[in-house]
Every structure is written in C-alpha cells, then in structure tokens.
Amino acid sequence: MITLLLLFLLIPQWALAQYTDEELYKAYLKGDVSLWKEYIEHSDWTALSQTEKERLLNYQYGYVAFAVSEENESAKRHLQLFAQHIEELSSKLNGAQLACYRSSLAAYEMSFNAFRKLMYANRAMAYANEAMRIDSLHPAALTLKANIDMYCPKAFGGNKERALRYFLLAERRFKELHMTTHNWNYRALQLCIAQCYEKTGNKKQAIEKCEQILQEEPDFSYISDTYLPTLRGEPVNKKVGIGNVSNIANSVL
C-alpha cells in the first residue's frame, strides 16, 4: 500500500521529467507541435514551483502563437490559460518579460476580436514599448520590438531596417547572457533575422543566415525543407509545424 502511494505521488514528477528543454527544443526544430501540446496539457499548474511555472509559460507563449496562426480548435482554450497564468505570475516575473507576454497576448487576441483589432494592436505596441522602457537590452523585449517593427505597416510606425538592428542586438544579448543552449526562443530569433534580411532586400544575407543556422542545427526542418529552398527558388516541402512560428505570431500582427 505504501509503495503504491509513493508511486502515485511520484507520477507527476516522472511525467514532467519526460519533457526536458532538450526534448522540447528538438521537437521545435522538427516542427513537432504534439510534444509541446502534451507538455502543456499534462502539467499540473498548481503543483509546479515558481521556476517550473515560468518555464511552462514560455512554452505556452510559443504554442499559442502556433495554435492561433493555424486557427487550431484548441487555440481559445490555450489562450485563456496563457492569460490566466500571466496574471498569476504578474507580481513575480521580470518586468520586461511580463510586458512581453502581455504584448503577445494582445496580439493573439486580435485573431478572435475582429471588430476590436485596432484596440488590441495598440495594446500590443504599448506593452512592447513598456518592455523596452523597463529594459532596453532584454532579449525578449528586443525581439518583440523588432517583430512589431518588421510586420507593422510603415504608415503605422513599422521600420524593417530598424527591426533588423533590434534583431541583431537581441541575438548578441542571448549570446552574452549564455541563453542559447536548447532555447527555442533563440533559434526563432535567428529565423526572424533571416526573414528580416529577406524583407529588407538582402536575400543573399538571408540565405547565408539560414546556412549558418543549419550548420549549428541541421535538424531545423522549417529552414531546411521550406524557407531556404524558397529563398533559392527550389521545390519546397511545406510542412506545417511550430518551427515556422518566429516568435510572437508574426502572421497575427
């Protein structure tokens, strides 16, 4: 009886141990959405430590971006959970990171509120600016600001050249802070850099960036199978997966 009780108590910890950052990172590279979904849905939020909650929130951030961009049926449910978890951790998160999450939440909300799209767009931009005011060298704040600059129309303040500068600074900050190992945010940022090179008319640099990424991570399937062949004018494998969600649901912005 005691043995069974101990086994029961250990099940949650054992289950979470199956979702290491390395495994979730490899899933990102392969475009495997299912593993992220399993990790998020199998985690008992109330039983997690503060550190584990912050970790889970980061994966929710990425998964919701994919679900919203693909109009996934569970997107609304995951979006609501993401919003609840942000507010629960609001007094404990780094201020710049909190503003980034709130900005992304507003961006995701646009997909479900067509008549209030402008309001949510303004909210997303306001939180992005707040993140930069709090910490202008925070990697997530720089990446977020750059994404908005890249996808926002020029008439509304978008600036692709400025976006590229922010992206490159964010990449440098990730490296300086030693935040590159098994970090999907870092790889997503590097994809953003390649996309920004393309959007600023520097296709050669975009190709070179993709080649650099693949030297480091040959399994990044969205780049190897879809994006790089597209840049080169070659046949593509249009695989749907989480690897092509750059960071804050760029298809939403």
Q: How many CB atoms lie within 10 A of CB 100?
A: 29
Among 30, 107, 124, residue whose Cα is nearest residue 64: 107
**pLDDT tier at 215, thresholds 50, 70, 90:** very high
pLDDT tops 80 at residue 72: no
The tens digit of pLDDT for each residue in 143-186 reads 999 999 999 888 888 999 999 999 999 999 999 999 999 999 99
Closest of 58, 32, 22, 19 to residue 222, by C-alpha: 32
- Domains defined for the chain, CATH in brackets: 32-244 (1.25.40.10)
pLDDT tens-digit readout, 10-27: 445 444 456 899 999 999
pLDDT of residue 237 exceeding 90, the answer is: no
Residues 144, 170: Cα–Cα separation, whole Å: 10
DSSP summary character for residue 186: H
Of the candidates 101, 103, 147, 140, which has an alpha carbon nearest to the alpha carbon of residue 121? Answer: 103
Whole-number Å distance between alpha carbons of 57 and 144: 16
Q: Indicate the burial class of 96 (C-beta count within 10 angstroms; 0-12, 13-18, 19 or more).
A: buried
64-73, 74-83, 127-136, 183-192: lowest mean pLDDT where? Answer: 64-73
Q: Which residues, other chains included, contact 229 with Cβ-Cβ below 8 Å and sequence gap of 6+? A: 235, 236, 237
What pLDDT does 7 receive? 41
Q: How confident is the model at residue 243 (pLDDT cuts 50, 70, 90)?
A: low
